[in-house]
Each structure stands twice: as structure tokens, then as C-alpha cells.
Amino acid sequence: MSFLVPLPVIIPALGAALTLMMARRPGAQRAVSLTALTTTLVVSSALLVVTAAEGPQVVAVGGWPPPLGIILVADKLAALMLVVSTAVTLCVLVYSIGQGSADGDEETPLSVYHPTYLALTAGVTNAFLSGDLFNLYVGFEILLVASYVLLTLGSTENRIRAGTTYVVVSLLSSVIFLSALGLVYAATGTLNMAQLAGRFDELPDNLRLLLQGMLLLAFGIKAAVFPLGAWLPDSYPTAPAPVTAVFAGLLTKVGVYAIIRTETLLFPDGRIADVLMVISLLTMVVGILGAVAQSDIKRLLSFTLISHIGYMLFGVALASEAGLSGAIFYIAHHITIQTTLFLAAGLVERRGGTTALDRLGGLGRIAPLLSVLFFIPALNLAGIPPFSGFLGKLGLLQAGVDESGPLVWAVVAGGVLTSLLTLYAIGRVWNLAFWRAPHPDLPRADDDSEGSTVLLPKLMVAPTFALVAFSVALTVVAGPLFGITSEAAADLLARTPYIEAVFPDGAP
């Protein structure tokens, strides 16, 4: 079944090519995009089933056996990430189509949007599947350049400013990553990750630590960990709602994925566990306090996004099966929930005309469905049971308690505090935007059903609803899902399933 492995990259890439060629036929573009992403989702799901049953699937691109050529590897972790990310991407696509139709396609140049969006997807899937460090860089570049374009769509003043910050910071991270790659090749003579796993062991300790640090730095910027992530809240919120949503859901998680992959496969000795622990604590606490200070929903959500990256990092730092499993589960949860919240924030922006808290109010009464679509993911984000955020946090806390040690306890305390402050921040949004008496500036469409469909188009509400349902479904299927994440974590820690899948006859 390994022929499935390249498809999640190939299909969106072909879609990008086709949609660019049919730039003047929006209907055809939409059809191609939807087909491409739906097919990708189906393929990804099939891959998950296959990898869960048969172990990692490896494809040697061009038939060049590893370590010569590039390999694509779909293990449980990658397959799970693929499924969650494509599901989310598909929902956001529908949402953006809904937004486009409602706005008469005036706001965003669709001829740019579809090809770029599909390229972004291809970049993300490529990053998840790549078994080659340089190809991982290429995957990052695809998704980054696509994100530059999406962030500056419409090229308004705000987006240019935000885009500049985002682009330049991302460029720096790319430079650091590329330098690290140059150094890695210089020191080891290979780029194949499974082979690197062995060759790193032969390097002097200090050099290996240096390479590890460089890679972590590059991925840390993308994952927006403290103190490298301050660019994020300045850039994400200015983009169109679906773009922010998909960025928030996916891009930072690709960084986290890369951290997990490299830390477990290439640097399994856990020498910097304490450093990671401290970073995760700071990321959580500084991030959530940032959220508390905000008075705009999108910015506030951006800070919660950063903050909760800390949870995932905590799981990585623990480097135990339970910790990694919790981290992976948390990624799946967080991709879904953060996207959902940004989509809901987009709906708030449409209905209320703004996302500034001091100019909102009364949405709970005026738009009951919207309030449900915000309230459930908001609770989920704050880790209120029985939602997936709680289960992910529970997994991580259990792993932390198992480990003990003063630093771990500090992070556990920080995690709990972060959870509470998330509730505080998000509760304030609810209190002010949904509960307060309606603001006088609110667009009037209270009882006019026709008016409210324009303000909240069905094609935007439906995918948001679908994502809320998806996030709730994560709770229901948490048992099997944790089954997969535990196995994925065990495989990551053991390293052999990955390496043996790449080199069945032993690493060269």
C-alpha cells in the first residue's frame, strides 16, 4: 500500500497547478480544490489505517534506494497528522468558499487563493511525510512561501506591515534551518534521517549538541516557542479569517512535529530535556499572560495558540511514552480547536463587524448558534472536561506526575495555571462579546432571517459546525485515538520501527 504515501503531496500539488491554469474560472477552481482536498483526506485516512495495521510505509522517490535518494515515510505519527490536518484544511476551504461567495469574491483574489492554498497543503503534507532532512526544508519552504502570499492577500496596509514581520522572521528561521542542514551534511555526509540517526551517534558530543540546538532554533521559531514566537500575534490576526484559522491550526504544529521527529529520531539522549522543560514552562505562562492582556479576540486567540504550544513541548521534554503520546494527542486536539476558534472569530467579525472586545456585545442573544459554535471550542481550549483539551492535558499531567522532579512539578503547576488563565481569558471574551448588552454599532439583523443569512452565510457556519463536531468527536473516539498516539509514541521512542522500515537490512 506504499503507493499511497506520495499522494497527499502529489494531489494538492496537481490541484495547485490546475487551479492556477483556470484562474479565470472560479467555479472550476472551487471544484478542483474541493476534489483535491477531499481525495487527500481519503488517502490520508487510508494511510492511517494501513500504517496502524502494517507499520511505517516507506517510498523511495524515483526508485533510488535510501540513503541515496529522498524517501517519504508515513509512520503512525505522520499519518495521524495528515488526517487531522487535511480534515481541518478541507473544512477551512469550504468556509473560505462560503466567505467568498457571500462577499461576491471581491475581497480576496481567488485566482491567487486556490493555488496558494493547495500549495500550502502540499507543503504541510510534505513536511509530515519527509524522511529526508533537506526535503523537510523544502516542504517548509513551500508552506512558508504559500503562507506569505496568503497573509498578504488583498495587500492592505495592515497586512503588508504584518506580512513583512512574518516574512522576515520566517526567512531568518529558514536561513537557520538551511545553515543547520549545511552543517549536518558537512559533519555527517548524509541527509537521510534514518541514517542520520546512526551517524549523529558518531559525532563529538558538543558538535551534535550544536546541530541539535540549531535545528531546535529553526523549528522553535516556526512553532512559536518562547522567546522566539513573539512575531506570531503581530502577524496572524491581520489575515482573512480562514487564512488565520488554517495558519493557527497547522503552521505552528508543523514546527512542533519537526521538533518531535528530530528530537526522538536524531537526538534521543534527552540531554536538553531540562532546557525544553524550562522553555515549555515559559512558553505557556508568558503566552497566556499575553492573552490576558489582549482586548481583541483574534489576538487573544493567537496568544493562547502560543501558550498551548508549551503543553506539546512539555510532552516532548518528558520523552516518555505517556508524555509523547499526550503531546501527539494534544497536537491533534489543538490543530482542530484553534482552527475552529479562529473560524468562529471570523463569524463573530462578520456578525459583530469587529473582533475588538470593547465594541462587541450581546451576540449570545442575537446569534445563538454562533455562541454555541464559540462556546464549545472555547471550553475545549480551556481544557474543560470532557472535551479533548482536557484529555490531552490529562495525558500530559499524568506523564508529568509519573516523572516527578522539581522542574517537572514546576511545569505541571504552570500547566495547571495556564489552563486556568486560558479559562479566564476566554471567559472574558464570552462575558464581553456574547453576554453584554448588544453594542449600539452592531449591524442590525436581529429578527430578520434573510439579513442574518447574509451576515452568517450557511457555507461559513456549516464547516465551523463540522469542525466543532469533529472536535467533540475527538472526545468520543479518545480511546482508540490514544491507542494510536501511544503506539506512535512507543515507536518514536524505540526508533527501530522507523529505521528498520527505511533500512530493512540495517542502516548503512
Partner 1 sequence: MTVLLACYASMAVLAPALVRWLGPKALYAVAAVPAATFAWALAHTGAMRSGGAVTEVHPWVPQLGQELAFRMTAFPWLMVLLVSGVGALVLAYSAHYFPAGEAGLGRFAAVFVGFAGAMLGLVVADDLLLLYVFWELTSVFSYLLIGHDPTRRASRWAAMQALLVTTLGGLAMLVGFIMLGQHAGTYRLSAVVEDLPGGAYLVVALVMVLLGALSKSALFPFSFWLPNAMAAPTPVSAYLHAAAMVKAGVFLIGMLTPVFAADPPWREAVWACGALTFLFGGWTALRQTDLKLMLAYGTVSQLGMIGIVLGSGFRDAALAGAALLAGHAMFKAALFLVVGIVDKTTGTREIYSLSGLGARRPALAAVAVLAVASMIGLPPTFGFVAKEAMLAAFWDGGPWERAMLACLVAGAALTVAYGLRFLWGAFARKPGLDDTDAAPAGPGFLAAPALLALAGLAAGLLAPGADGLLAPYADRYPDTGHAYHLALWHGLTPALGLSLAALAAGFGLYLATRRTSAWRAVKLRLTSGAVYRQAQNGIDRLAVELTGRTQRGSLPFYLGVILVSLVVLAGGLLLFDGPWPHRFRLFDTPLQLAAGGIIVAAAIAAALARRRLTAMVLTGVSGYGVAALFIFHGAPDLALTQFLVETVTIVMFVLVLRRLPPRFSERPLKKVRRFRVAIGVAVGVVAAGMAYVAVGSREAEPISELFPDLAVSYGGGHNIVNVILVDIRAWDTMGEIAVLLVAATGVASLIFGRDKAMHRRGGSRPAPPKTGEHVKWLSRPETDGSHQAIILQVVTRLLFHTIVLFSIYLLFTGHNHPGGGFAGGLVAGLALAVRYLAGGRAELNAAAPVDAGRLLGTGLLVSVGTGAASMLLGGQVLQSAILDVEVPLLGHLHFVTSTFFDIGVYLIVVGLVLDILRSLGAEIDRHRESGDGPENAAPLPEKEAA
Partner 2 sequence: MSPNLVYVVVIGVLFGAGVSLLLERTLTRVLIGVVLIGNGVNVLILMGGAYGTPPIIGEAPVEGMSDPLPQAMILTAIVITLGITAFLLALAYRSWQLLGHDEVQDDAEDTRIIELAERDEIPHAKESETEDLPSPVYDAGPGWAER
Within 340-399, the residues that bind partner 2 by CB under 8 A are 356-358
Q: What is d(CA 443, CA 439) in angstroms, rounded to the nearest whole number? A: 9
Among 165, 270, 497, 500, binds partner 1 (CB under 8 A): 165
Name the grid cell of 346.
Answer: 471570523
Q: Please, which residues have CB within 8 angstroms of residue 22's CB and are 6 or more apart in sequence?
A: 28, 29, 32
- Residue 292 corresponds to which cell in the numbers above? 490576558
Report how far residue 256's alpha carbon sits from residue 244's, in angstroms, rounded to the nearest whole number.
Answer: 18
Site string for partner 2, 295-324 (x = CB under 8 A): xx--x-------------------------
Identify which of residues 85 and 116 has a Cβ nearer to partner 2 in the complex: 116
- Could you tell which of partner 1, partner 2, none binds residue 80, using a CB distance below 5 to 8 A set by kind? none
472 lies in the site for partner 1, by CB under 8 A: no
Per-residue three-class SS string for 130-147 = ECEHHHHHHHHHHHHHHH
Cell numbers at 5, concatenated: 504515501
* 31 part of the interface to partner 2, by CB under 8 A: no
Binding positions for partner 2, 215-244, rule CB under 8 A: 233-234
**H or E element in which residue 240 lies:** none
Tell which positions 140-159 bind partner 2, by CB under 8 A.
141, 145, 148-149, 152, 155-157
Cβ at position 62, least distance to partner 1 in Å:
5
Applying CB under 8 A, among 33, 51, 89, 135 the residue interacting with partner 1 is 135
The answer to whether 382 and 389 are in contact (CB under 8 A) is yes
- CB of residue 260 vs partner 1: minimum separation in angstroms? 18
Site for partner 2 in 400-459 (CB under 8 A): 428, 431-432
Q: Is 185 in the site for partner 1 (CB under 8 A)?
A: yes
Q: Three-class SS string for 391-405?
A: HHHHHHHHHHHHHCC
Nearer to partner 1, 268 or 435 (CB): 435
d(CA 396, CA 330): 9
Q: Is 379 among the residues that bind partner 1 (CB under 8 A)?
A: yes
Does 65 engage in binding with partner 2 (CB under 8 A)? no
Total count of residues recorded for the chain: 508
Of 3-11, 35-43, 291-299, 323-331, which segment contacts partner 2 by CB under 8 A? 291-299
Residue 300 engages partner 1 in binding (rule: CB under 8 A)? no
Q: Which does 459 bind (CB under 5 to 8 A by kind): partner 1, partner 2, none?
A: none
Residue 171, CA distances (Å) to 113, 148, 150, 230, 310 in order: 22, 10, 16, 15, 23
Question: Of residues 34, 428, 462, 497, which one binds partner 1 by CB under 8 A?
Answer: 428
CA distance 49 to 1: 10
d(CA 29, CA 97) in angstroms, rounded, equals 10
**CA dist list (Å): 241 to 70, 84, 346, 468:** 36, 20, 5, 16
Residue 18 interacts, among partner 2, partner 1, none and using kind-specific CB cut-offs from 5 to 8 Å, with partner 1
Site for partner 1 in 52-91 (CB under 8 A): 59-64, 67-70, 72
- Please answer whether residues 465 and 98 qualify as being in contact, where contact means their C-beta atoms are separated by less than 8 angstroms: no
Residues that bind partner 2 (CB under 8 A): 134, 138, 141, 145, 148-149, 152, 155-157, 160-165, 167-168, 171-172, 175, 178-179, 181-183, 185-187, 191, 233-234, 292-296, 299, 356-358, 428, 431-432
